[in-house]
């Protein structure tokens, strides 16, 4: 009974060991995790058992060891109960085979079915031959798994089993243990907090098939939502159209226009502890939206032909002349301002005198990054502006990497160039002390 209560309070590490010669390092890792006060259960792949036997891990962990999908009645371990029990799934060493299977969602043994079934965070310590590591398929899998929220530890460089000195060596058990403890500490850091995130672009339709928008992919906002949910927060993600899938456990509110985004964000704002405005909202929308597709040459309400005397006005030109290129068209579009979602909601918070939600705005700039960010901090009433330079095509908008500057009343700081997933962690690490 006492042991059962102790186990309930203790967090459980499910340690997956795969068929790399580095499997022996998993024994040391297990010991380190136990020393940190964690309960460790081990799952071995078939190939791992050729290198270190289940009896070793059973003796070290004091727990039954999972080796097969088809467990015996006397040893009732199954992938679903393992998946539910795990506070974190650590796969160390993780071979190229298992890594690529995880990235593709293949679930053909006990460890990979458990990985697919668990909602626990994933820590991977890859170990493989350098050429297998450099293979584009493996590199793509590493990128994909990291984008899905996995924490990668290593691999490092050094002497490999194949006799080469190269990259692909499993990180030390100390490094994998430290990363696991960090992940576990993060999992509850926003428990009980409610977070609102706006993401993606908005679309402002001119007619049923044309719109004003921006190239925002939504990646930063979605990564923030995933990370906040992984830290125990209850998350509402209000997003304009993107190609992304909402992270599991997140309340997803899809919108199209800036006005819809304001309405949805407004509904959740007052109950939140933190609101992050990462959406690239279109500042303007066409003054009028045509109900039918605008035709070249037709005189339509919101599209006004420019009165350039040197050109033939398309309003008066026939479709045939436009199609044959004899009409040189130049149109003006009448725009009207969209509401500023961040400024509107910040003003609402100010009017009530409330200190919450803590407000984080983004600033996409092509010049004078810091002074523009300071300006926005003040003008919009935010507590923090996360600024980025969008003039570099390798960073920002549609890229998977970015470099951010944090600007608050207290001063500013800058991150290195990092993946958007790393940046999401960095942003939430920065914000957590403000909230707790």
Residue 224 is encoded by which pair of tokens?
């923030």
Q: How far is the CB of 380 from ligand CTP (least distance, A)?
A: 6
Dihedral angle at the C-alpha atoms of 94, 96, 102, 103, nearest 10 degrees?
130
Residues in binding contact with ligand CTP, number by CB under 6 A: 17
How remote is the C-alpha of 109 from its chain's centroid?
Answer: 28
Residue 339 is encoded by which pair of tokens?
């509401």
Give, for 211, the enclosing helix (H) or strand (E). strand 210-212
Q: Which is nearer to ligand CTP, 235 or 258 (CB)?
A: 258
Q: Which is nearer to ligand CTP, 95 or 257 (CB)?
A: 257
Alpha carbons within 13 angstroms on the beta-carbon side of residue 45 total 27
Print the binding letters for residues 376-395 with ligand CTP: x by CB under 6 A, - otherwise: x---x---------------
Q: How far is the CB of 64 from ligand CTP (least distance, A)?
A: 51
Q: What distance, in Å, lies between the first and last C-alpha atoms of the chain?
A: 34
User: How far, in Å, are 45, 242, 257, 375, 420 from residue 80 at the CA level?
Assistant: 16, 32, 41, 52, 31
Q: How far is the CB of 283 from ligand CTP (least distance, A)?
A: 5
Residue 162 falls in the annotated catalytic set: yes
Kind of pairing between the strands at 331-333 and 303-305: antiparallel
Print the binding letters for residues 197-216 with ligand CTP: x by CB under 6 A, - otherwise: -x------------------
362 binds ligand CTP (CB under 6 A): yes
Instruction: Return the range that interacts with ligand CTP (CB under 6 A); candidates 227-235, 298-306, 338-346, 349-357.
Output: 338-346
Give the residue, chosen from 26, 99, 183, 279, that forms a contact with ligand CTP under the rule CB under 6 A: 279
340 binds ligand CTP (CB under 6 A): yes
Does residue 133 have a cis peptide bond before it, meaning omega lies within 30 degrees of 0?
no
342 binds ligand CTP (CB under 6 A): yes
Q: Which is nearer to ligand CTP, 66 or 281 (CB)?
A: 281
Instruction: Return the range that interacts with ligand CTP (CB under 6 A); candidates 21-29, 82-90, 100-108, 357-365.
Output: 357-365
Give the residue, chosen from 106, 147, 364, 435, that forms a contact with ligand CTP under the rule CB under 6 A: 364
Query: Among candidates 131, 161, 67, 144, which has minimal Cα distance to 100?
Result: 144
> Which class for 266: exposed (0-12), middle (13-18), buried (19 or more C-beta within 10 A)?
middle
281 binds ligand CTP (CB under 6 A): yes
Contact call for residues 272 and 194 (beta carbons, < 8 A): yes
The residues of the shown chain that bind ligand CTP, judged by CB under 6 A, are 198, 258, 277, 279-281, 283, 338, 340-342, 361-364, 376, 380
Q: Which residues are catalytic?
A: 162
């Amino acid at each position: 009974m006492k042991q059962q209560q102790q186990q309930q309070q203790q967090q459980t590490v499910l340690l997956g060991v795969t068929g790399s010669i580095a499997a022996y390092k998993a024994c040391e890792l297990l010991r380190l995790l136990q020393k940190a006060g964690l309960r460790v259960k081990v799952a071995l792949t078939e190939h791992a058992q050729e290198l270190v036997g289940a009896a070793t891990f059973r003796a070290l962990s004091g727990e039954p060891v999972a080796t097969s999908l088809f467990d015996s009645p006397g040893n009732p371990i199954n992938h679903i109960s393992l998946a539910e029990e795990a506070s974190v799934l650590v796969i160390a060493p993780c071979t190229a085979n298992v890594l690529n299977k995880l990235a593709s969602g293949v679930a053909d043994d006990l460890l990979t079915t458990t990985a697919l079934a668990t909602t626990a965070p994933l820590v991977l310590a890859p170990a493989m031959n350098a050429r297998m590591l450099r293979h584009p398929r493996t590199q793509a899998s590493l990128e994909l798994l990291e984008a899905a929220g996995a924490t990668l530890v290593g691999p490092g460089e050094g002497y490999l089993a194949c006799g080469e000195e190269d990259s692909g060596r499993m990180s030390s058990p100390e490094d994998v243990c430290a990363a696991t403890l960090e992940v576990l500490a993060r999992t509850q850091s926003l428990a009980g907090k409610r977070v609102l995130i706006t993401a993606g672009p908005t679309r402002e339709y001119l007619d049923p098939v044309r719109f004003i928008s921006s190239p925002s992919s939504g990646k930063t906002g979605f990564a923030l939502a995933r990370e906040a949910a992984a830290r125990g927060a209850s998350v509402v993600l209000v997003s304009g159209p993107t190609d992304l899938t909402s992270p599991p456990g997140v309340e997803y509110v899809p919108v199209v226009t800036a006005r819809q985004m304001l309405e949805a964000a407004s509904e959740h704002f007052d109950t939140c502890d933190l609101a992050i405005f990462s959406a690239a909202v279109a500042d303007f929308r066409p003054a009028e939206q045509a109900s039918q597709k605008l035709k070249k040459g037709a005189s339509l309400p919101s599209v006004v032909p420019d009165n350039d005397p040197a050109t033939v006005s398309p309003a008066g030109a026939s479709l045939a002349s436009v199609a044959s290129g004899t009409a040189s068209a130049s149109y003006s579009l009448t725009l009207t301002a969209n509401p500023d979602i961040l400024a509107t909601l910040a003003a609402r918070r100010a009017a009530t005198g409330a200190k919450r939600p803590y407000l984080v705005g983004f600033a996409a700039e092509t010049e004078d990054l810091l002074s523009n960010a300071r300006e926005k901090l003040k003008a919009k009433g935010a507590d923090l502006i996360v600024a980025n330079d969008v003039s570099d095509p390798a960073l920002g908008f549609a890229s998977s990497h970015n470099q951010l500057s944090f600007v608050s009343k207290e001063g500013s700081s800058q991150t290195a160039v990092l993946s958007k997933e790393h940046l999401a962690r960095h942003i939430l690490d920065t914000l957590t002390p403000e909230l707790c």
